[in-house]
Each structure stands twice: as C-alpha cells, then as structure tokens.
C-alpha cells in the first residue's frame, strides 16, 4: 500500500489534458510525487482553437509555463455582429489589460507545450480508469486492463464525462445538462483568409465565430439550436457544415469552401454539469471534470488552469490533512466557477433568441453599452485569476 512519502502524498492525476498536465507540472515542481494516467494511447490532441485570457495567462506565468510567441496570437480586437454584419459590441483585449496578455492558441500547440513543461512527470498513456474506491488512508484505482493501484490522492482531470466523477458521485452526480445548442469546431490552414480581428456573428438560432491562430490558421466554431443528440455518424461532413452555415458571413463562405474530407471537424452538443463538484475525501476533481461549462465566455481552459494553480497553492498547506484538501479547493473555487458557468449559460441562451421583438431589443441594448462598461466587466472577470497568480508567485518566493 502506498504511503505519504517525505516529498508529499503520492498523487495520481487522471487525464492528460489542460487541467491534468498543468496540475501535474505545478505539483511536480513543488516536490509532490505525481503521475498522470491518460485513457488515449498517446498524449496528443488534434483539437481546434481556444482562448487563454489574462486570468489564465497570469497563472501559467506564475507556474513558469511559458507560451512562445510563435505559437500564439494576441486576441486584440474582437467584434460581435448582428445578422447584417453590423457591430453589436466590440473590444480590444490589449486595451482592457495589456499585461498579462490574452491570446488565441491551437489546442494541439498548447498541449505540446504543457507536455514539455511536465518533463519528469511519469506519463501513462492507454490507461483508462474504470473504478475508484476511496478509503481512510488512500484511494484504490482500477484500470481497464484489470490492473490496480493505490495512491494517497487521486485528482480527476478527465473531462466533462469524467470516469473519476462518475465513480465518485454516481450517474446522477455526473449528469450533464444540455444547452439546446450543438456545435461544430475546426481549425484550417488558410493564410490568405485569416481575419485581422476575432469575429462572432449572431443570427436567430445560430452563431458563427472566426478566430485567428498562429501559422496562418483559423479556428472556426459554428453553433445551432437543435435537439439533444444531434451529433452522429456523418454529421461532421463538410457538405453538411456548408449547407447549414453558408451565407452566414462573407468571411465565412470562402473558409467553408476550403473544407475537405481530410479536415478534422468536431461536432458535439454543448453541455454543462448540473452541479459544480470539486470532490470528496482524497478524490479531487478539477477542470471540466469538476465544472464542465458552455464555451460562451471562452473560460473553459482558463478556469481549468486556475484550478490547477489553486491546487498547487493549497497542497503544501494540507500535506498532513489530505481529507481537508477537497473542502479547501471547493471553498476557494466554487463561487468563481459558478459565476462564470451561470453567465456563460445565459449568454448562450440569449444569443440564440429567435423572437424578432426580443432580438431587436437585445441588439439595441447591446449596441448602447459603452466600451468602458464592458472593459470594466471583463477586468472584473479576470481579477480572481490575477489574484491567484500573485499568491502563487508569493508562495514561490523564499522568505528573506
């Protein structure tokens, strides 16, 4: 049976995505014996694009996980458009907060950088967790190959459909709530079509976004109101995407025409967890495993990175009280992620209104909101991540 070593509790992180690798790096550098089990055969993600806003980039910087300039594109200007292409709202991330920066990055590039940062952490690909059994002094973990192991602490970072969450909380506790919207995502290399700003257009029952990425790539997301369970075999075919979204915006049509059968297009329903949960006893949950959310604020990756930073900050305080770690993480993170999750859900619903009167009033209201108001709201959304980053830096600074 594993025991708590002189370097800290033996910790298994389940899931090698953004939350898992960030947490693994942060804990490893603090002397915690940690390893990562990932269900896929290789630690690699195709993915598309994500935004890392100032709150998350500050935490990455505090954890000494650099993101090279050649892999990222500053978010810069962003515009929300009505069906006719007129601006409803606009902003500039660099104006809102020049430092720390906010940027767009291809998920595969971010994953590669996080893998490099996790050097020295044992990585176990092709190991899917099928069951966990918490005990008073550790957690027994069973894998799909029949192998078993025991760790002092288990951190579930295995996504929205987390096996760790399901094993800990049961099917009801792992339930997802469907937003009423289904989404297609892809990244395509098209240097001549890369927009100079980030764009999102709202039309009744639909949204389309185009985001510039490094190396001449574009991240595109296309959202439609639809019954639950729409994704299925063939629903990610380029012809279907073109049929549904051609004519949405002049910028989008030439991008859609470039789609070929070899273009990876992900089609999935947008869901959130019915309840936020950071675990219990010696089983923790972080990232999407704790609080899957709709992507309407671009904070899914950001809150996962914040979770990892919070765990790294709290762990040294609970080396002799591992059972207190989950409540401490919950106290630190619950209000923060519930606020973002709730706001993201509301924005998604409002964006898909179809009633003409409601749409007219919404657009008129958004158009009248001054930039200073949206800038202040954005800075307030980022503030908790900046404060967490400052605490991480203070904790890493030796006392004089």
Listed in sequence order, the DSSP H helices in 16-118 are: 18-28, 54-62, 93-96, 107-117
pLDDT at 249: 87
Dihedrals phi, psi of 44, to nearest 5 degrees: -155, 145
pLDDT at 8: 84
pLDDT at 132: 94
Q: What is the percent of the chain with per-residue pLDDT over 70, rounded to a whole number? A: 97
Q: Which residue range is the domain that position 33 belongs to?
A: 11-73+102-177+272-352+377-396
**Within a domain: residue 117?**
yes
Q: Domain containing 112 — which CATH number? A: 3.50.50.60
Prediction pTM value: 0.94
Is 315 a residue whose pLDDT tops 60? Answer: yes
Half-sphere exposure of 222 (CA within 13 A, CB side): 26
pLDDT at 243: 95
Q: Which helix (H) or strand (E) holds 29?
A: none
Do residues 239 and 257 lie in contact, with contact meaning Cβ atoms separated by under 8 Å?
no
Strands in 39-97 per DSSP E: 49-52, 72-74, 77-81, 87-92
Average pLDDT on 328-357 reads 97
Contacts of 51 (CB under 8 A, 6+ apart): 75, 102, 103, 104, 105, 211, 298, 301, 302
pLDDT at 398: 58
**Within a domain: residue 278?**
yes
pLDDT at 3: 35
First to last CA, the chain: 40
Banded pLDDT at 28 (limits 50, 70, 90): very high
pLDDT at 41: 84
pLDDT at 46: 65
**Within a domain: residue 303?**
yes
pLDDT at 93: 92
Is 52 a residue whose pLDDT tops 80? Answer: yes
Rounded Cα distance, 257 and 246, in Å = 9
**Within a domain: residue 186?**
no
**Within a domain: residue 39?**
yes
Average pLDDT on 111-139 reads 94
Contacts of 274 (CB under 8 A, 6+ apart): 175, 176, 177
Is 400 a residue whose pLDDT tops 80? Answer: no
**How do strand 198-203 and strand 77-81 relate by DSSP bridges?**
parallel
**Within a domain: residue 62?**
yes
Average pLDDT on 339-344 reads 97
**What is the number of other CB atoms lying within 10 angstroms of the CB of residue 184?**
23
Is 57 a residue whose pLDDT tops 70? Answer: yes
Q: Which helix (H) or strand (E) holds 190?
A: none
| pLDDT tens by residue, 157-209 | 999 999 999 999 999 999 999 999 999 999 999 999 999 999 999 999 999 99
Rounded Cα distance, 211 and 220, in Å = 6
**Within a domain: residue 93?**
no
Rounded Cα distance, 252 and 265, in Å = 15
DSSP labels for 273-308?
A: ESS---EETTEEE-THHHH---STTS-HHHHHHHHH
**Within a domain: residue 149?**
yes
Average pLDDT on 333-346 reads 97
Question: How many domains are there within the chain?
Answer: 1
Banded pLDDT at 142 (limits 50, 70, 90): very high
Half-sphere exposure of 348 (CA within 13 A, CB side): 26
Is the peptide bond prior to 238 cis by the omega test (within 30 degrees of 0)?
no
| pLDDT tens by residue, 233-275 | 999 999 999 999 999 889 999 999 999 989 999 999 999 999 9
Average pLDDT on 326-339 reads 97
pLDDT at 4: 38
Contacts of 341 (CB under 8 A, 6+ apart): 272, 276, 291, 293, 294
């Amino acid at each position: 049976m594993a025991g708590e070593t002189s370097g800290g509790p033996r910790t298994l992180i389940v899931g090698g995505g953004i939350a898992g690798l960030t947490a693994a790096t942060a804990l490893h550098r603090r002397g915690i014996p940690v390893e990562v089990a990932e269900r896929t055969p290789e630690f690699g993600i195709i993915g598309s694009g994500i935004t890392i806003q100032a709150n998350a980039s500050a935490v990455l910087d505090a954890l000494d996980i650099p993101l090279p300039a050649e892999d990222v594109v500053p978010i810069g200007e962003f515009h929300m458009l009505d069906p006719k292409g007129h601006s409803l709202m606009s902003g500039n991330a660099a104006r809102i907060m020049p430092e720390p920066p906010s940027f767009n990055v291809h998920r595969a590039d971010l994953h590669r950088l996080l893998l490099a940062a996790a050097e020295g952490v044992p990585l176990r690909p092709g190991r899917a967790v099928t069951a966990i059994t918490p005990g008073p002094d550790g957690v027994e973990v069973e894998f799909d190959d029949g192998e078993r192991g025991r760790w002092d602490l288990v951190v579930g970072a295995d996504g929205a459909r987390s096996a760790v969450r399901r094993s800990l909380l049961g099917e009801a506790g792992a339930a997802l709530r469907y937003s009423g919207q289904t989404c297609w995502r892809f990244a395509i290399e098209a240097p001549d079509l890369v927009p100079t700003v980030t764009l999102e257009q709202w039309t009744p029952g639909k949204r389309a976004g185009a985001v510039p990425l490094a190396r001449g790539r574009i991240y595109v997301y296309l959202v439609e109101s639809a019954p639950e369970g729409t994704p299925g075999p063939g629903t990610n075919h380029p012809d279907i995407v073109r049929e549904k979204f051609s004519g949405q915006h002049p910028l989008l049509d030439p991008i859609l025409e470039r789609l070929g059968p070899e273009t990876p297009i992900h089609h999935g329903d947008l869901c959130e967890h019915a309840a936020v949960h950071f675990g219990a006893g010696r089983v923790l949950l972080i990232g999407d495993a704790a609080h899957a959310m709709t992507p309407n604020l671009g904070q899914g990756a950001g809150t996962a990175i914040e979770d990892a930073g919070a765990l790294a900050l709290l762990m040294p305080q609970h080396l002799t009280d591992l059972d207190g770690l989950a409540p401490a993480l919950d106290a630190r993170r619950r209000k923060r992620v519930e606020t973002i999750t709730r706001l993201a859900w509301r924005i998604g619903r409002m964006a898909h209104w179809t009633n003409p009167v409601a749409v007219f009033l919404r657009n008129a209201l958004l158009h009248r909101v001054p930039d200073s108001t949206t800038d202040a709201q954005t800075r307030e959304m980022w503030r908790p991540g900046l404060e967490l980053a400052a605490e991480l830096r203070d904790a890493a600074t030796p006392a004089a």
